[in-house]
Chains A and B, each alone.
Chain A
Amino acid sequence: MISKIISHEWLQWRRDSRLKWLAIFLVVISAFALWHQINFQSTLLKKRLKAQEDSRQEWLSQELKHPHMAAHFGNYAYKKPTLLHCFDPGLTIYTGTSVYMEPHKQNDFLFSQSQESDTGIRFGWLSPAMICQLILPLLIILLSFNSINGEYEKGTMALLISQGANFRSVLIAKTASVFLFFEGFITLYLLVTAYCSAVYLGTVIDIYAVLYIWIVYSLYCFIWSLSGVLVSSLIKSSGTSIALLLLLWMFTNIILPRGSANIAENMHPLITNQQFKQLLTASIDKGIDGHDPKNERAKKIEKELLLQYKVDSVQQLPFNFEGFIMQQSEAYSSKVYDHHFNQLFTTLKQQKKIQSLFGIISPYISLRNISMAAANASLETEIDFQQQAEHYRRSFVQNMNNDMKDNSAYGSFKTYRVRKDKYASIGDLQVQNRTMQWSIPTLFIEHISLLLWVLFLMILLFISNQKKVYN
């Protein structure tokens, strides 16, 4: 019976010219979104690879100079798009795209895509993920808002029931007809996106990530299909049901995500760069705990070294003390940066947690977070990229400082030059993209929220009774 209702429903849709136009609209806008993202991300990848290569060449071709001065010439880290950015660019458009890496300080990531866009970007950025997250539920609403009450309005429900279908099986069939229709679209769209992205970006498809995204988007599609049918069964008038469903969509997909981000910021405010730099300076000057002044730290190191090597002055040490103290200072500032950046990241993670909790009332928020994580464009992956770049910065600065310590004489800052092969001995930055499995532990609340939604709607489906509404 269920399969008969489903095929009947699809037959009706095929005959409805408005739905044909909707389907054409969906296909066109989806193709457009995919083309836009593939074009954008592949161009971006080419530009970033070229920029990274140029930066590397500049590093290698710099004149022979003092290692510390060479370190000051610095290196750049450019964030490169990954395959699933074509599907969901996530936070990547709002975070900086490049960072200048030099000794003594951890610079900010600058030049975000959003800085170069018009204010229209705040309305959303066209991508396959946006289509599936925002547009698809709307189309589901349009197909399901009168699926049950429409039958009553037309007087065909009695006919269905008289043919042996009970009310629940009609609900299941109506849900399945909407769900399967859009599930087919999601499956196809995701496969085409993954294939085209792999071809244009020249990377390998992460099967697990694609599969994971497919499962999560299918759940989301199911949630909206079931919601549409349930609302249609619980509300007699199709006019009220579409109004309610559209309101639900606006609330969960537009208002709540914005509201939750703002509430999260109010609850865990992010400090300004000015405050951040004040904290850094204070910690470097006075010590992380405030009781370890910079000068005393240096004196202490000097005293310990003299004692360890049993010499009277730093000039007598078997290495260049200037290089050593330079690296010690670098190591201490790194500790300070770690301390304060961890606090900053903790604030951001607390904000994200608040937003994730709002996912309990908005499946969109949960889906968005999961999708970004799977596509390597979440908060955690952005932080990870920054940390990888910072790790590289420290290692190349340390390498140059060690060269100064081990190979130069005390007081030879103006005369010492690195060897010819020194620059090449420092490898280029290799950013490791995290797998989907790496992100999963950060998505506990999101998974629970989506499952709770499914559970809640399933319970509603099984307790729904036509008599409550229609008798």
Chain B
Amino acid sequence: MNIQQQQKNNIPAISLNTQYWLFIKSKTNLLLLSIFFIAGIYSLYQGFAFKRKQVNAIASFQHEKIKKFNDLLKGFDADTTNKLGKEAFAEVSSPFKSNRNIVLPTFKPPVSTAIFAIGQADLFPYYYTLKVESFFMQIFKQGEIANPLRSLSGHFDAAFWIIYLLPLLLILLCFSTLSAELGNGNWRLINSQGITVKKWLNSKFLFVGCCVEIMIGLIFIAALLLNYFYFNQYPTLNDFLFLLGVNIYLIFWLCLIYMINAFGKNTSANAMYCGIGWVVICVLIPVLISMAIEKSIPIDNTNISRMSRRPQGAKFEDSSFGTKIIRELGVAYPINKNATISENSPGFRLAVYLAFHKLLDDANTAAVKNYFSKIEARQQITNISSILNPAASMDGIFTSLANNDARASHDYFWQTKHFHSRLNDIYYPALFFEKQLAKSDYAKINTFKYQPIYNSVTLFYSYIILLLMSWLLLFISNKKTNKLN
């Protein structure tokens, strides 16, 4: 191999080496990296603090409700020869009395990836108190205390750091990669060493990409360690899908800034295009698409909000109405078909009342499903809109991976409903067949176990679209750099 050939092969290394020295010579660059890294750590802390708050709230909630429930169960072992013991036994075993005492907790613990993206977790309840009565009536009264000030401003979590701040860092570090050298006259010197525009840009973007990747890696490892040591959670597939998404998103941004550089404009124009690009991608497009989604899928919550109203009235005292309702319940749920409870039974009014609740819930289920499906459809459009709306799409995907979006919250809602049905399956036969509840009945209830929702395949669709867009930007850049050379 001759010297010229050797020199040619060494050009990428020389270019990368020059970029390294230029980079570390600039105090501004190092300061920027430090500031953004500190911001990254702070964002991780925010995710951690929010998750810790949720975990602690769930633990306290669970402890309180389970303790009360266990205290209720002690009634089975009470000494029924005295008045207090009799009362305690009746409170747990009589369907007529136990309905108000059976209070069960359900909760949605944050998953491992939740440390990165708080998403909409501040808007939705993550624990519910469950009783025998109408599901919708009780659930649509429960919510978490809202902090509108924080919701308005948004979370400073890792997702924000990645979606908004890292592109900004890339812009600041790379927007004048070529124009600065052209402007200060150094380009001739660089070019005289055989470094072409393409190689110069490649080396700079590779170097900056590696620096940012190291920052992300450190934050990611710190998050996994926090999850393991504080929350006792092992890394999950979602954590790595999140990391994959972060990298794809940053590749997209690197390609975009690369393309702006490849047009060979001056520093002022590059700054303007990069700045406008950031504003358009991170602010304008998400806002406009969100608005378009709202317009195309209108939602009205009036009917849903009314489901919290307690159904009652004189009709529950009307025995013919009561008999009709119990018969209707028997048709809907054959297990209760031959209910023995009669209008003279002490629990008759309660049975009618709860049967009415059950039938009302059934009638309302379709409306609630429709309401939720519209909200989920809105989110789905955002998640798959990466071709137009990369920032909001990735944010939606991160939130989805963190199990903190509306879909996950709704899924938790339906899991709670399923648990409520299980509770009713045990309680209703006792009420309608005038039996006493036994210890074994309570044992069948078990405790609520939340199952995180599976990822949607749209995630991969969005990732691929973003990669294709990056490739397209690179393709255009190559055309432009070839012209510049």
- Contact (A119, B153) CB under 8 Å given A64-B314, A243-B175, A276-B145: no
* CB–CB B301/A97 < 8 A: yes
* Interface 0/1 of B271-304, CB less than 8 Å to A: 1100100110011101111110111000111101
Distance (whole angstroms) from the CB of A44 to the closest CB of chain B: 10
Is A432 located at the chain interface by the 8 A CB criterion? no
* Interface 0/1 of B306-327, CB less than 8 Å to A: 1011101111000000000000
Considering only CB atoms, which chain A residue lies closest to B405 in the complex? A119
* CB–CB B172/A247 < 8 A: yes
* CB–CB A237/B268 < 8 A: yes
Q: Which of B146, B275, B287, B389 contacts A124 (CB 8 A)?
A: B287
Distance (whole angstroms) from the CB of A223 to the closest CB of chain B: 19
Stretch at the interface among B2-10, B88-96, B118-126: B118-126
Q: How large is the interface on A (under 10, 10 to 19, 20 to 34, 35 or more residues)?
A: 35 or more
Measured between alpha carbons, how far is A274 from B399 in the docked complex, in Å? 24
* CB–CB B392/A123 < 8 A: yes
Considering only CB atoms, which chain A residue lies closest to B183 in the complex? A239
* Interface 0/1 of A238-250, CB less than 8 Å to B: 1110110011001
Residues in chain A near residue B179, CB distance under 8 A? 239
* CB–CB A63/B286 < 8 A: no
Inter-chain contact count A-B, CB under 8 Å?
243
Q: Which of A72, A97, A344 contacts B312 (CB 8 A)?
A: A72
Residues in chain B near residue A138, CB distance under 8 A? 279
Measured between alpha carbons, how far is A136 from B401 in the docked complex, in Å? 35
Distance (whole angstroms) from the CB of B333 to the closest CB of chain A: 27
* CB–CB B291/A36 < 8 A: yes
* Interface 0/1 of B138-166, CB less than 8 Å to A: 00111111111111111110001000110
* CB–CB A95/B148 < 8 A: yes
- Contact (A115, B406) CB under 8 Å given A110-B141, A239-B179: yes
Stretch at the interface among A9-17, A197-205, A251-259, A324-332: A251-259
* CB–CB B145/A344 < 8 A: yes
Distance (whole angstroms) from the CB of A105 to the closest CB of chain B: 9
Stretch at the interface among A212-220, A263-271, A391-399, A404-412: A263-271
Is A126 located at the chain interface by the 8 A CB criterion? yes
Most buried by A among B46, B291, B389, B399: B291
Is A151 located at the chain interface by the 8 A CB criterion? no
* CB–CB A119/B283 < 8 A: no
Q: Which of A100, A108, A258 contacts B155 (CB 8 A)?
A: A258
Measured between alpha carbons, how far is A122 from B282 in the docked complex, in Å? 11
Restricting to B95-131, which residues have a CB under 8 Å from any CB of A? 119-120, 123-125, 127
* CB–CB B156/A126 < 8 A: no
* CB–CB B275/A243 < 8 A: yes
Distance (whole angstroms) from the CB of B143 to the closest CB of chain A: 4
Measured between alpha carbons, how far is A214 from B60 in the docked complex, in Å? 49
Measured between alpha carbons, how far is A254 from B375 in the docked complex, in Å? 26
Residues in chain B near residue A90, CB distance under 8 A? 152
Q: Which of B145, B175, B268 contacts A108 (CB 8 A)?
A: B145
Residues in chain A near residue B312, CB distance under 8 A? 65, 69, 72-73
Q: Which of A114, A126, A246, A278 contacts B64 (CB 8 A)?
A: A278
Q: Which of A107, A122, A257, A272 contacts B57 (CB 8 A)?
A: A272
Is B49 located at the chain interface by the 8 A CB criterion? yes
Restricting to A314-331, which residues have a CB under 8 Å from any CB of B? none
Distance (whole angstroms) from the CB of A111 to the closest CB of chain B: 5
- Contact (A110, B143) CB under 8 Å given A116-B299, A239-B268: yes
* CB–CB B142/A108 < 8 A: yes
Residues in chain A near residue B145, CB distance under 8 A? 108, 270-273, 276, 344
Is A260 located at the chain interface by the 8 A CB criterion? yes
* CB–CB A119/B304 < 8 A: no
Residues in chain B near residue A266, CB distance under 8 A? 49
Measured between alpha carbons, how far is A336 from B283 in the docked complex, in Å? 44
Is B477 located at the chain interface by the 8 A CB criterion? no
* CB–CB B143/A273 < 8 A: yes
Is A401 located at the chain interface by the 8 A CB criterion? no
* Interface 0/1 of B413-441, CB less than 8 Å to A: 00000000000000000000000000000
Measured between alpha carbons, how far is A468 from B449 in the docked complex, in Å? 69
* CB–CB B148/A102 < 8 A: no
Measured between alpha carbons, how far is A107 from B172 in the docked complex, in Å? 49
Considering only CB atoms, which chain B residue lies closest to A272 in the complex? B57
* CB–CB B156/A73 < 8 A: no
Residues in chain A near residue B289, CB distance under 8 A? 120
* CB–CB B302/A51 < 8 A: yes
* CB–CB A146/B268 < 8 A: yes
Distance (whole angstroms) from the CB of A33 to the closest CB of chain B: 8
* CB–CB A243/B310 < 8 A: no
Q: Which of A50, A119, A242 contacts B379 (CB 8 A)?
A: A119
* CB–CB B141/A107 < 8 A: yes
Is B382 located at the chain interface by the 8 A CB criterion? yes
Q: Which of A239, A274, A382 contacts B60 (CB 8 A)?
A: A274
Considering only CB atoms, which chain A residue lies closest to B378 in the complex? A118
Measured between alpha carbons, how far is A120 from B152 in the docked complex, in Å? 12
Is B266 located at the chain interface by the 8 A CB criterion? yes
Stretch at the interface among A155-163, A293-301, A348-356, A451-459: A348-356
Considering only CB atoms, which chain B residue lies closest to A344 in the complex? B145
* CB–CB B278/A382 < 8 A: no
Is A55 located at the chain interface by the 8 A CB criterion? yes
* CB–CB B152/A94 < 8 A: yes
Measured between alpha carbons, how far is A260 from B289 in the docked complex, in Å? 27
Most buried by B among A40, A73, A118: A118
- Contact (A119, B310) CB under 8 Å given A258-B155, A258-B156, A262-B156: no
* CB–CB B305/A110 < 8 A: yes
Beyond A240-B271, A273-B143, 15 extra complex contacts between A and B, CB < 8 Å: A62-B313, A64-B314, A110-B140, A110-B305, A115-B120, A115-B123, A119-B399, A123-B290, A239-B268, A242-B275, A255-B164, A259-B156, A351-B147, A351-B149, A379-B148
**22 A/B residue pairs, CB under 8 Å, sorted by A:** A54-B306, A55-B306, A73-B309, A76-B305, A91-B149, A94-B151, A111-B301, A114-B120, A116-B301, A123-B290, A124-B283, A126-B287, A126-B291, A242-B275, A243-B275, A250-B168, A264-B150, A266-B49, A269-B53, A272-B144, A351-B147, A379-B148
Cβ-closest 8 pairs across A and B: A239-B267, A261-B153, A123-B286, A120-B290, A246-B275, A239-B268, A94-B148, A94-B151
